[in-house]
Amino acid sequence: MKRRTAMPALRFSTQTLLLQLGVVALVVLLSSAVHAWLTYDRLGREAESQALTLARTVASDPSVRAEVQSISALPAAPPASELLSGPLMAAAEGARTRTGALFVVITDETGIRLAHPEAERLGEKVSTDPSEALAGREVTTRNTGTLGPSAGAKVPVYAPDSGTVVGEVSVGYSTETISQSLARDIVPIAATAAGALLAGVLASFLLRRRLQRLTLGLEPEEISTLVHDQVAVLQGVDDGVIGVAADGRVSVFNAAAQRLLGVPDLAGSAWADAPVPAQLKALTRADAAEGEAVELVAGGRVLVASARKALHRREDLGWVVMLRDRTELQQLTRQLDAVGTMSAALRAQRHEFANQLHTIAGFMSIGQPQQAQDYLAKLAGTGPLAFPVDQAELLQDPYLQAFLGAKGVEADERGVSLRLGPESVVRGHVTEPQDVTTVLGNLIDNAVNAAVAGSAAERWVEVEVLDEPGINGGPGTLHIVVADSGDGLGAAMTAEEAEAVFAEGYTTSDRPARAGAGHGLGLALSRQLARRRGGDVRLLEAGTPGGPGAVFVATLPGTTEPTTAEPATRNPATESAVAEPGTTEPTTTKPGGEDNDV
C-alpha cells in the first residue's frame, strides 16, 4: 500500500483570506439578487401605475362613455364585425399604439369585450374577473390572460349623465417588456457587483498583509506561547521593564517597574504624559544614545536606567527601558567605605601602638624606668591615638560614634576638621541605621566637598545631632544640622532656587567626589527617604562666599528609641593598660578617644 502524505495545514492568514473571500462573494451575490428583485418589482409597479393612468384616460373620454352606455342599453352586444369598425375599437387601439401597451380592452356592464387587440376576441367575455371594476373600484393586477403575462389596471366606465357603471377599461403592459427593461438595468447591477467583489478581494488581501504585519508573521499558537512566555519572564524578574511602542504608547509595564517607580500600571497610556522622571523619557528620544545608563532617584530609591531600540526584521517596534535598583548597593558601598575608613584608622592606631611600645622598650633598655612611667602616664591621659571628632561623648549611640568617627578620619585626610556642635545630645540609640547613614552621610559628604572647594583658610564641617524622645516611650525623632566653611550656594537664593537644590542632577561640583558616585543624587535621595518617614531635609541657610557655607537641617522621625538604663561595662579596647602613679586601677581614656569609637 502506498503511504498517504498528509496535506500541510493552511496558515492562519491564508484561512482568514479564504474565509473573507467567501463571505465577500456571498454578500455580493445576495446583494445583487436582492437588488435585481427590487428593480423587477419597481418596474412592475411602474407598469401598473402607467396602466392605471392610461385606463383612467380612456375611461374618462366622453365619446367612450357615451358609446359604452349606448351599447349597454341594447339587449345584446353588436356583432364582432360592427365592433371592429366601431369608435370604441378605434379609441382603444389608438391609445395602445401611442403608449406601447400590451392591450387596451373595453367591456360593457357584463364583461363582454367591446374593444380588443385581437378581432376574434370581440364579443366574448373577458378572461379575467371584471367584477371589482364593474362594482366601481379601480384595481391593479398582475396576471396571465389571453395575450400572456401582464401588469395592468381595471377602471370602471361611468354613464355620461349619471354615476352608473356601464362598463370597464382594462389596460396591461407585458411583463416580458419589464424583463427586457430589467435586462437593460442588470448591466449596471452586474458591474456594481463585480466592482464590490473586486474591492472586497482587494480589501481582504490588504487585511491579510496588515494581519501578518501586526502579528509579525506568527501563527495564533505561536502568539499564545509568546504571551505566556512574556508574562512568565516579565513577572519573574526583579528588574523593571518598560516597553514603549513605536506610536509612543506604553505597551509593557511590569510589576517590578511599578514597585521601583512607585506608580500604578501605565500600560496603554501615552509615554509622553506618564508620571515618571524626565530622565526616563529622555532615554527614548530619537537623538538619545542607545544603551547609555543614567542614575535617578524615584520612590526613595536610586535606580540605574538604560534603554535600547527594539527591532524585528528592520521594523521599528519602539524602545525597551530597563530599571535596576542600586539603593541597597549604594547603602552597602557607603557601609564598606565606613569600614574601610575605620580599618585605615585601626592600621594607623596599630602603628602608633608599635611606636609607643618601642619607645617604652627603649627607656627600659637604657635604664630609665621613671621616664617610661611618665610616658605611660601621659598616654593614659591623652589616649593612644587622637580621635578626629571632638566631644563624641555627647553621642551615647555607638553607631553614631563609629560612623562620625569614620567620617572624621576621612575628612581629616582631606584637610577638613569634622566637629560636633555644642547642642549635640543623643540619649537614645538608632533603630534605623540605614536611613540615618544615607541622610547623614550625604549631608556630611556634601559639606566636606564644599569645605575643600571653599576659599576659607580654616576648613571645617560642624554637625549637630539631637534626638527627640517619642510620646509615651515610642520611637523618637533624630534632628541633624550640618554646616561647613565653604562658599555656600548663593547669598540671595529665592524659595524656588532653594528647592532646586534638591532636584535630581543638581550639583555644584565639576566632577563627583568619588569615581562612579554620580552627580546630584544625594540630596534628592535624602529628602525622599526623610519624607517617606514623615520628616524632611531643608536648606536652612544658603551661606555666603568666603564662608560660612550652606546649612542643611534634616528631620528623621521614628529612627531612635530610648536606651534602657544599664551599668556601663568597660571595653578593654578603650582602657589604658597602665595605671596612674599611686593607684592600683587602670585609668580609662575619655569617651571621645579612638579606641572607644572603634
Yes or no: say if 470 and 431 are a contact pair by the CB < 8 Å rule.
Answer: no
Among all chains, which residue has been given the C-alpha cell 528631620? 555
Side-chain half-sphere CA neighbours of 574 within 13 A = 17
Give which of 269, 272, 265 is closest to 286, Cα–Cα. 272
What is the pLDDT, as a whole number, of residue 552? Answer: 92
What is the pLDDT, as a whole number, of residue 328? Answer: 66
Yes or no: say if 126 and 191 are a contact pair by the CB < 8 Å rule.
Answer: no
Does 164 have pLDDT greater than 70? yes
The mean pLDDT value of the chain amounts to 77
Does 384 have pLDDT greater than 60? no
Give which of 399, 397, 491, 412 is closest to 444, Cα–Cα. 412
Count CB-CB contacts under 10 A for residue 598. 19
Quick one: cell of 135? Answer: 362594482
Q: How confident is the model at residue 331 (pLDDT cuts 50, 70, 90)?
A: low
Does 303 have pLDDT greater than 70? yes
Yes or no: say if 197 and 24 are a contact pair by the CB < 8 Å rule.
Answer: yes
Does 51 have pLDDT greater than 70? yes
Quick one: cell of 184? Answer: 437593460
Give which of 418, 384, 423, 383 is closest to 401, Cα–Cα. 418
- Amino acid (one-letter) located at 493: M
Yes or no: say if 58 and 152 are a contact pair by the CB < 8 Å rule.
Answer: no
Give which of 329, 300, 303, 350 is closest to 537, Cα–Cα. 300
Least confident of 79-88, 194-203, 214-223, 249-258: 214-223
Distances (CA, A) of 597 to 234, 259, 402, 431, 505: 47, 38, 5, 18, 35
* ∠ Cα 426 431 437 (to 5°): 80
Tens of pLDDT, residues 95-112: 888 888 888 999 988 888
Residues in the chain: 598
Side-chain half-sphere CA neighbours of 157 within 13 A = 32
Least confident of 12-16, 36-40, 130-134: 12-16
Sequence-distant (≥ 6) Cβ neighbours of residue 56 within 8 angstroms: 138, 155
Give backbone dihedrals phi and psi of 265, rounded to 5 degrees, phi first.
-65, 125
Helix (H) or strand (E) holding 415: none
Tens of pLDDT, residues 540-572: 888 888 778 889 999 999 888 887 644 444 343
Quick one: cell of 132? Answer: 371589482
What is the pLDDT, as a whole number, of residue 229? Answer: 65
Read off the pTM.
0.44
What is the pLDDT, as a whole number, of residue 156? Answer: 92
What is the pLDDT, as a whole number, of residue 150? Answer: 79
Does 479 have pLDDT greater than 90? yes
User: What distance in Å separates the CA atoms of residue 192 and residue 314, rounded to the nearest whole number?
Assistant: 41
Tens of pLDDT, residues 352-363: 677 778 788 887
- Higher-confidence residue of 490 and 487: namely 487
Distances (CA, A) of 50 to 26, 37, 130, 466, 550: 36, 20, 19, 110, 104
